[in-house]
Amino acid sequence: MTSPPIRVLSVASEAVPWVKTGGLADVAGALPAALAPHGVAATTLIPGYRDVLARLGKRPRTAHKWADLFGGPARLLARDAMLVLDAPHLFDRPGRPYGDDAGHDWPDNWRRFAAFARAAADVAGGAAKGLRFDLLHAHDWQAGLAPAYLRFAPVAGSKPVPAVMTIHNMAFQGYFPAEVFPQLGLPRQAWAMDGVEYHGGVGLLKAGLESAQAITTVSPTYAREIRQPEFGMGLDGLIRARGPAVHGIVNGIDGTEWNPETDPAIAACYTAATLHDRAANRAALAAEFGLEPGDGPLFIVVSRLTWQKGMDVLLEALDHLVWLGGRLALLGSGDAALEAGLHAAAARHPGRIGVRIGYDEALSHRMQAGGDAILVPSRFEPCGLTQLYGLRYGCVPVVARTGGLADTVIDANVAALAIGAATGVQFDGVHPAALKAALDRTLALWRCPEDWQALQRAGMAQDFSWARSGAAYAALYRQLVA
């Protein structure tokens, strides 16, 4: 007899296709389907932002009501395997999930996401009639208090529900002043070193990391890196102390949405056996970015424009990239100074560097399909998705050797090339000289079409589907529930 599925409440502040600002949304959106084949029934809970509610469509079922959730009434809306927390006083506002359109965080983010986490703990604890869960899986600081509520203030009479806390990026920790603590609805004993207190304030991610039965992050290398001060950003001691409870599970990608064989967004579909068909995508991409024809590689970048992503270092290497005969198509948005620097580089190198500021999903597909190589010079990268899309699309990743980039790209060293295992180029240390040297190595490979195509084919043959990661999460849940 097969055992009944493990029922997991996955709690995330964003999930594809409903709301996305980064990789977290891809992961949260993909998890339920990835887990289903492994005996896990996952339901995702997200906040009812204005856009999400508008797109919910036909009247969803109300599964639970709160008369007063942190200052106003709230409802739990259910649609298929998705739950939405409709709390207008917290989430029904214009702008982005975490702030206004001018880029300022909402000042009441602590209240918004404490309420979200409280609701999640209530639902996981069985407060909503007809909804039962065996485990709560919290993602990032926005859901960080949920394991703390389960630990310090569970639903009265409920059986204990274990929690998993996943770190998608240690740089975002949800730190707030101590004054908010009395308003969180937690008992006094939660104000402790092994509770929510963090450097004299309240740490939302920290609370989750202390309270969850298991911690995961999105690659084995990042799981090791965050044990060190440089990557742990204040929480490295906690991560070291939790030792064997910390796991690294690489993200998968959605192989249906990201498939060059069937991608409706690209000019010409292709496979590893028909790589020559990429030429049409390459020409279309060059035209779209106003780049002149050339023999050198067409590099792409699809990224948030931030210090983490090494975009300042990229700027320093752009003259060298052009000097080598390369061209660059860049899509991204973020820091104003970096945007200005990129525009200046494009003005310096018309026809060689094309910059598009903004967020454009379809364009990102056309870039992966038409680019020869994707640059990812991140200072730290918990997992990274764009290099995985690059691998699948035959757009060779050139990456910093850190976090998930180190785990998913096989450097084209002599040994790896000899056995046909290499899939890209890795470099150590994110500074201009290292990136320039990586560009030199990339050009050497590019000049040998056989080597280059071997890189492309080996990359396209990698399996970064969710199958493996889904199995790893399911195995972890099973341990905790048993």
User: Per-residue contact track with ligand ADP, 306 to 345, x per CB under 6 A?
Assistant: -------------------------xxx------------
Return the residues of window 399-418 that contact ligand ADP according to CB under 6 A. none
| 302 part of the interface to ligand ADP, by CB under 6 A | yes
Residue 276 exposure: Cα atoms within 13 Å on the Cβ side: 0
Residue 64: other Cβ atoms inside 10 A: 19
Which residues from 363-382 bind ligand ADP, rule CB under 6 A? Answer: 364
Smallest gap, in angstroms, from Cβ of residue 8 to ligand ADP? 22
List all residues 6 or more positions away from 62 whose beta carbon is below 8 Å from its beta carbon: 75, 76, 77, 78
Paired tokens of 92? 């029904």
Report if residue 424 touches ligand ADP, rule: CB under 6 A.
no
Q: Hey, how many other C-beta atoms are within 10 angstroms of the C-beta on 320?
A: 16
> In the 3-class helix/strand/coil scheme, how is 239-284 assigned residue by residue?
HHHHHHHEEECCCCCCCCCCCCCCCCCCCCCCCHHHHHHHHHHHHH
One of 108, 360, 416, 443 touching ligand ADP (CB under 6 A): 360
CB of 357 to ligand ADP, least distance (A): 8
Rounded to an integer, what distance in angstroms lies between the CA atom of residue 107 and that of residue 99? 8
* Residue 303 in contact with ligand ADP, rule: CB under 6 A: yes
| Cα separation, 251 vs 221, whole angstroms | 13
Q: How far is the CB of 153 from ligand ADP (least distance, A)?
A: 31
In the complex, residue closest to ligand ADP by CB: 23
Footprint of ligand ADP on 443-462 (CB under 6 A): none
The number of CA neighbours under 13 Å toward the Cβ of 69 is: 25
Closer of 162 and 403 to ligand ADP (Cβ): 403
Closer by beta carbon to ligand ADP, 87 or else 167: 167
**Least spacing, CB of residue 317 vs ligand ADP, in Å:** 20
Nearer to ligand ADP, 123 or 253 (CB): 253
- Which of 100, 230, 261, 361 binds ligand ADP (CB under 6 A)? It is 361
| Backbone phi and psi for residue 175, each to the nearest 5 degrees, phi listed first | -105, 130
Element holding 70 (H helix, E strand): none
Which C-beta is closer to ligand ADP: that of 153 or that of 400? Answer: 400
**x/- map, 12-51, ligand ADP, by CB under 6 A:** ----------xx--x-------------------------
Least spacing, CB of residue 22 vs ligand ADP, in Å: 3
Q: Which of 385, 395, 396, 474 binds ligand ADP (CB under 6 A)?
A: 385
Q: Which amino acid is at 388?
A: L
Measured from the CB of residue 243, what is the shortest distance to ligand ADP in angstroms? 26
Closest to ligand ADP by CB, 41 vs 284, is: 284
> Which residue's CB is nearer to ligand ADP, number 14 or number 197?
14
Of 49-57, 229-237, 290-298, 302-310, the window that binds ligand ADP (rule: CB under 6 A) is 302-310
Tell me whether residue 148 or residue 430 sits nearer to ligand ADP (CB atom).
430
Four-point Cα dihedral 304, 315, 431, 309, nearest 10? 0
Please, which residues bridge with residue 298 across strands?
Answer: 327
* Torsion angles phi and psi, residue 94, rounded to 5: -70, 175
* Angstrom distance (rounded) from CA 315 to CA 341: 7
What is the closest distance, in whole angstroms, from the C-beta atom of residue 409 to ligand ADP in the complex?
A: 13
- Looking at residues 198 to 257 of the shown chain, list those that interact with ligand ADP (rule: CB under 6 A): none
Query: What does 114-153 look like in DSSP terms, one character per residue?
Result: HHHHHHHHHHHTT-STT---SEEEEETGGGTHHHHHHHHS
Site for ligand ADP in 75-94 (CB under 6 A): none
Nearest by Cα to 78 from 39, 119, 23: 119
Task: Report d(CA 152, CA 191) in Å as an integer.
Answer: 10
Q: Which stretch binds ligand ADP (CB under 6 A): 7-15, 81-89, 260-268, 383-391?
A: 383-391
CB 113 within 8 A of CB 13: yes
Residue 142 in the binding site for ligand ADP (CB under 6 A): no
- 277 contacts ligand ADP (rule: CB under 6 A): no
Tell me how far CA of residue 248 lies from CA of 14, 38, 145, in angstroms. 21, 19, 21
Instruction: Please say which residue, 244 or 358, places its beta carbon nearer to ligand ADP.
Output: 358
Amino acid at residue number 207? A
How many residues bind to ligand ADP according to rule CB under 6 A? 17
Question: Is the CB of 184 or the CB of 302 nearer to ligand ADP?
Answer: 302
Q: Please, which residue, 332 or 394, has the CB nearer to ligand ADP? A: 332
Contact present, 50 and 86 (Cβ < 8 Å)? no
Q: Which residue has tokens 């707030």?
A: 176
Q: Which is nearer to ligand ADP, 384 or 459 (CB)?
A: 384
Q: Which is nearer to ligand ADP, 196 or 396 (CB)?
A: 396
- Taking alpha carbons only, the member of 328, 320, 303, 270 closest to residue 431 is 320
Q: Which residues of 381-395 are buried (b: 16+ CB within 10 A; e: fewer)?
A: bbbbbbbbbbbbbbb
Q: How far is the CB of 254 from ligand ADP (least distance, A)?
A: 10
Question: 């963090």: which residue's tokens?
Answer: 198
Q: Where on the chain is the footprint of ligand ADP (CB under 6 A)?
A: 22-23, 26, 302-304, 331-333, 359-361, 364, 383-386
